[in-house]
């Protein structure tokens, strides 16, 4: 008789992370068999030839001899001071010079998990956007919480409706998560919308969590409005990092900044500190790049301005979707993704997973089906804007071929 397999945590059955899931595994198999693929599933700038700015690399190299010991659990003091200054400059209240409310982690990913673990008791609810970045759902579930999704509808340019958010609040709701600028939709939230959401958080005493990792990746006349200055004395945790704006995903550097009235946030601050201490500290080398990243000059605008690589790839996305009889696009104002919808005849009986698999098998292109982002519809998919424009144009020619085959 065979020995039974090891049982795993039951709630993992509720967790999905398709960005690196079954389709990506099939892609690896195809590559092993010698196929060349275009993989647009991960927003990983370094995999597309982008490099972290040289002055950030130099800051690490210059300090490599100082990186052997553990740091303070919340991160290197000088790096936290650099984050505090950056936040003070954008108007975050209480981004104090002693940086006691700043937590550096192994990417925003680790901090999302810590932030929810420090907050949730079994059955507590977290308001998440739909579509979401699926780590938010996974971390809510694995910390015994319950995701409650507020829709960001395609017909409303993927902006949420505060009235709908308010209707979803129950006595168990603890936090309201915003991903702005948004992955996967590229939406950038206007100030008056954020103000209405802050008013809801104030009315129901919710912790605001603002995932702002794409804060400076903006196109055309898009603006970024940080949430913490609008939240004022309300508890708010703002996330940022080096992975996207600074193209250094592999360094695993992210930060979370807690703002709000001391009497309200101090116990939560202590809980974050305890959980940070239990994992000792974040990777040290990358922390030495934080000051250079935040105060050493803008390196992203040249990529997002007309003529810049991200701008041109986004233009290719817009033009390809306009030219396609099968696609409709809500133009991304920000971030690194397009989230087109399949329309017309190709959309009849359309299934985003089957489409992703067909595109992979028939055309050697890996994308992420829209339903991976916790939406109730199955007619969207996500691509990153990281390849060269010409590569994206070729990808859309292949996408159109597969969609034409469905008609």
The residues that touch ligand PLP, with contacts defined as CB under 6 A, are: 43, 107-109, 133, 179, 183, 211, 213, 241, 243, 249, 254
Provide the minimum distance between the beta carbon of 254 and ligand PLP in the complex, in angstroms, as a whole number.
Answer: 4
Q: Is 170 left (phi over 0), alpha (psi -120 to 50) or beta?
A: beta
Residue nearest to ligand PLP (CB): 107
Provide the minimum distance between the beta carbon of 248 and ligand PLP in the complex, in angstroms, as a whole number.
Answer: 9
Cα 261 to chain centroid, rounded: 27
Q: Which is nearer to ligand PLP, 107 or 338 (CB)?
A: 107
Q: Which is nearer to ligand PLP, 217 or 292 (CB)?
A: 217
Q: Which is nearer to ligand PLP, 290 or 403 (CB)?
A: 290
Q: Which is nearer to ligand PLP, 314 or 326 (CB)?
A: 314
Provide the minimum distance between the beta carbon of 133 and ligand PLP in the complex, in angstroms, as a whole number.
Answer: 4
Provide the minimum distance between the beta carbon of 335 and ligand PLP in the complex, in angstroms, as a whole number.
Answer: 8
Provide the minimum distance between the beta carbon of 79 and ligand PLP in the complex, in angstroms, as a whole number.
Answer: 15
Provide the minimum distance between the beta carbon of 102 and ligand PLP in the complex, in angstroms, as a whole number.
Answer: 15
Q: Which is nearer to ligand PLP, 43 or 338 (CB)?
A: 43
Provide the minimum distance between the beta carbon of 390 and ligand PLP in the complex, in angstroms, as a whole number.
Answer: 24
Q: Which is nearer to ligand PLP, 43 or 402 (CB)?
A: 43
Provide the minimum distance between the beta carbon of 19 and ligand PLP in the complex, in angstroms, as a whole number.
Answer: 8
Question: 3-state SS string over the chain?
Answer: CCCCCCCCCHHHHHCCCHHHCHHHHHHHHHHHCCCCCEECCCCCHHHHCCCCCHHHHHHHHHHHHHCCCCCCCCCCHHHHHHHHHHHHHHCCCCCCCCCCCEEEEEHHHHHHHHHHHCCCCCCCEEEEEECCCCHHHHHHHHCCCEEEEEEECHHHCCCECHHHHHHCCCCCEEEEEEECCCCCCCCCCCHHHHHHHHHHHHHHCCEEEEECCCCCCECCCCCCCCHHHHHCCCCEEEEEECCCCCCCHHHCEEEEEEECCHHHHHHHHHHHHHHHHHCCCCCCHHHHHHHHHHHCCCCCHHHHCCCCHHHHHHHHHHHHHHHCCCEECCCCCECCEECCEECHHHHCCCCHHHHHHHHHHHHCEECEEHHHHCCCCCCEEEEECCCCHHHHHHHHHHHHHHHHHHC
Provide the minimum distance between the beta carbon of 138 and ligand PLP in the complex, in angstroms, as a whole number.
Answer: 12
Considering only CA atoms, give the Rg of the chain: 21
Q: Which is nearer to ligand PLP, 43 or 226 (CB)?
A: 43
Q: Which is nearer to ligand PLP, 107 or 160 (CB)?
A: 107
Please give the backbone phi and psi of residue 255, each rounded to the nearest 5 degrees, phi first.
-145, 155
Give me 76's structure tokens: 């290197």
Q: Which is nearer to ligand PLP, 237 or 402 (CB)?
A: 237
């Amino acid at each position: 008789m065979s020995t039974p397999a090891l049982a795993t945590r039951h709630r993992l059955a509720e967790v999905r992370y398709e960005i690196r899931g079954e389709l990506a595994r099939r892609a690896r198999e195809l590559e092993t068999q010698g196929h060349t693929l275009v993989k647009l599933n991960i927003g990983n700038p370094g995999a597309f030839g982008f490099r972290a700015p040289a002055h950030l690399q130099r800051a690490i190299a210059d300090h490599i001899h100082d990186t052997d010991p553990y740091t303070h659990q919340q991160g290197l003091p000088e790096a936290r001071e650099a984050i505090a200054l950056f936040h003070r400059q954008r108007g975050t209240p209480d981004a104090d010079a002693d940086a006691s409310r700043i937590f550096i982690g192994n990417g925003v990913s680790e901090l999302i998990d810590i932030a929810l673990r420090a907050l949730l008791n079994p059955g507590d609810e977290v308001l998440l956007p739909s579509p979401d970045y699926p780590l938010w759902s996974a971390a809510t579930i694995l910390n015994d919480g319950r995701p409650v999704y507020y829709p960001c509808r395609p017909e409303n340019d993927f902006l949420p409706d505060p009235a709908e958010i308010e209707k979803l609040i129950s006595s168990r709701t603890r936090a309201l998560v915003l991903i702005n600028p948004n992955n996967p939709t590229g939406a950038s939230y206007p100030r008056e919308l954020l103000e209405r959401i802050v008013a809801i958080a104030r009315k129901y005493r919710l912790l605001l969590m603002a995932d702002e990792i794409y804060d400076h990746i903006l196109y055309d006349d898009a603006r970024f409005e940080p949430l913490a200055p609008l939240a004022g004395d309300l508890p708010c945790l703002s996330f940022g990092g080096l992975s996207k704006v600074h193209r250094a995903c592999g360094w695993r550097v992210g930060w979370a900044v807690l703002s709000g009235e001391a009497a309200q946030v101090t116990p939560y601050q202590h809980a974050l500190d305890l959980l940070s201490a239990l994992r000792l500290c974040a990777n040290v080398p990358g922390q030495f790049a934080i000051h250079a990243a935040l105060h050493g000059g803008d390196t992203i605008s040249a990529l997002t301005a007309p003529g810049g690589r991200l701008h041109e790839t986004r233009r290719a996305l817009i033009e390809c979707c306009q030219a396609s009889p099968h696609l409709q696009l809500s133009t991304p104002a920000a971030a690194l993704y397009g989230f087109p919808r399949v329309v017309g005849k190709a959309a009849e009986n359309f299934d985003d997973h089957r489409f992703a698999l067909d595109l992979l098998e028939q055309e050697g292109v890996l994308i992420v089906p829209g339903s991976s982002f916790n939406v109730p519809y199955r007619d969207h998919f996500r691509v990153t804007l990281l390849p060269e424009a010409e590569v994206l144009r070729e990808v859309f020619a292949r996408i159109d071929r597969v969609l034409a085959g469905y008609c």
